[in-house]
Structure 1
Amino acid sequence: MSIFNIFCGVALLSLVHFSESSSTEQHEARSYGNSSINGNSQKVFDIVVHGILLWASMGFLMPLGILIMRMSSCTKDCHPSKHKILFYVHVVLQVLSVLLVTVGAVLSIRKFENLFNNTHQRIGLALYGAIYLQVLIGFRRPKRGTRSRSTWYFLHWILGTTISLVGILNIYTGLNAYHQRTSRNTRLWTIIFTAQVSFMAIFYLFQEKWDYMQNQGMIISVNDLENSTAQLDNQKDVLNEPYRKSNALGTYFLRTNALNKLLQIT
């Protein structure tokens, strides 16, 4: 949880930096020529397609793949077959996201002015490099039980989480850039995307606590079982006490009769 909090702090600082640089972004947007964008329907269409591709890849499929992998780690010990299925689902989702990122990158290279003088393009360029580096790291996965496995897992996890968080942040910068270049309202799309990200974050935290909740239930069940066992033992003792007394008295009378008979015989 501490590392997750660090990432949240970094994201908040980035948002603050983004809000402070909004005036600079507006000045940069003017250099693109808003009137030409508004008059060019093909350019607007290309920007929308680029945004949808990057939302589907870094805003949806990548975070979903992280959630799936978190679920697979929760079921690894209890359901090995289910863990294997979820692992392959994670791989498929990440491969699809990389393919969509590649299409979005090719579209941006061929259709847009790649001056890299604004925050959105700079972050996007860094994300492209980090994503393909993550692909190489993913295919270089060591076997479980080797010494390099823990180091690989940490690098794969930290880089994947960073890409997902920065990619979500860059979607917000892209929505802002789209609004500045086309003068179109993006508030509805911002609200929808924020709701989606919030739901995924809540679900991730729920998965983080799922094992703890299950263990709490198991502890309660064990306590109840111990209490019920103690109660059964007490009931057995109570039921057995009269039986033991009657056996002792019966044994006493049997021995007494046997002694009387011996005395009479003698």
Structure 2
Amino acid sequence: MQLILKSLALVIPTTFLVLLLLPFPLVHSFVSGSSTSNQLKIHKMDTKLSNEITLHGFLLWASMGFLMPVGILIIRMSNTREESGGFRIKVLFYFHVILQVLSVVLATAGAILSIRNFDNAFNNNHQRIGLFLYGVIWIQAFLGFFRPPRETERRNMWFILHWALGTGVTILGLINIYTGLQAYHTKTSRSVNLWTLLFTAEVCFIVFLYLFQDKWDYIRKHGTSFEANTGGDPGNDSIRMKRAQAVIRENLSKLRATGEGDGVV
């Protein structure tokens, strides 16, 4: 397990460097010419910029709006199933690691895309929050790879810090997706109502699952204890009652028959 974690710790920086060293886009300059030619170039640039903004939004949604929250839900599943065996916990843990690594890689790709192609004046909340997240997400990733051993004092501090950073990054990431949609609307004058509605539905579903995980463990434990006390499905109470009454009647009949026999003797 440690070998896999160390390998992943090397994969993330390597991916970042590969993306960073890709050829920079050529600097476009507009030369004087006919108005038709200039308008065509402007149209092509607008289309290119719109596509890049769309790609940037998709990468950051996949990273912070999907993979990261799902990774959190999965690691919470492992915490509620500790009694089910070590193998299942390990599987859930590695799923969590893989999803978070993919999240960091996609967020890094989206960050490089925005730095190289967009006008980053950092004069709006979306760019400021995004810049903060680009740094914190890497701190969180390296913190996840360097876990102290269990049953140590450092493990408790590490857990609190890892949980706080992970929760904070996820919440800020979701908020920044909303600000990104608004920035896209401002930049392109295109409606984002449908995307905002769909993303809100996704967030509500994730929050529901997050809250339900705590209740599910409670329901499962209390449901099992109730069935153990009642001897099975509570829906079969009437059937068991009828069977008990039949046994009682049969015993009473035997007692009467025995009493009559004793009287004859």
Partner SS for 1:40 = helix
Q: Secondary structure at the match of 2:212?
A: helix
Structure 2 unmatched runs, 5+ = 1-41, 232-236, 238-243, 255-265
Aligned to 1:112: 118
Q: How does 1:64-83 map to 2 (within 5 A)?
A: 64-83=70-89
User: Any idea what SS the aligned residue of 2:83 has?
Assistant: coil
**Deviation of the 1:195 alpha carbon:** 1.0
1:178–1:132 Cα change, 3 Å: same
Tell me the C-alpha RMSD between the 2 structures: 2.7
Alpha-carbon contact 1:65-1:89 (below 8 Å) kept: yes
Task: Give the C-alpha shift of residue 222 in structure 1.
Answer: 3.6
Greater per-residue helix proportion = 1
Q: Following TM superposition, by how much is the alpha carbon of 1:39 offset from its aligned partner in structure 2, in angstroms? A: 6.5
Q: Secondary structure at the match of 2:84?
A: coil
Question: Quick one: structure 1 residues 37 and 90, their matched pair in 2 at CA, closer, same or farther if it must change by over 3 Å?
Answer: farther
Q: Which residue of 1 aligns with 2:17?
A: none
Give the letter aligned to residue 161 of structure 1: T
Correspondence for 1:182:
188
Task: Measure, in 2, the Cα distance between the counterparts of 1:82 and 1:39.
Answer: 51
2:220 is aligned with 1:214:
yes
Tell me how far apart the structure 2 counterparts of residues 218 and 37 of structure 1 sit (CA, whole Å).
65
Task: Encode CA deviations 1:20-76: one digit per residue, 9 max, x unaligned.
Answer: xxxxxxxxxxxxxxxx79961111111000000000000000000001111111122
Deviation string 1:205-234 (CA, Å, 9 cap, x unpaired) is: 111211100121123124325xx9xxx9xx
Specify the structure having the higher radius of gyration (Cα). Answer: 1
Q: Which portions of structure 1, spanning 4 or more consecutive aligned residues, are displaced by more than 3 angstroms?
A: 36-39
Taking every aligned residue pair, what percent have the same amino acid on both sides? Answer: 52
Once the 2 structures are TM-superposed, how far is the Cα of residue 196 of structure 1 from its aligned partner?
A: 1.0
| Structure 1 alignment gaps of length 5 or more | 1-35, 243-266
Partners of 2:93 and 2:189 in 1: CA distance: 43
Q: Which has the higher contact order (CA 8 A, sep 6+)?
A: 1
1:120–1:174 CA contact under 8 A, matched in 2 = yes
Amino acid paired to 1:213: I
User: What is the rounded CA distance, in whole Å, between the counterparts of 1:209 and 1:37 in structure 2?
Assistant: 54
Counterpart residue number, 1:128: 134
CA distance in 1, matches of 2:173, 2:119: 20
Q: 2:108 is matched with which residue: 96, 102, 106? A: 102
Normalising by structure 1, what TM-score?
Answer: 0.70
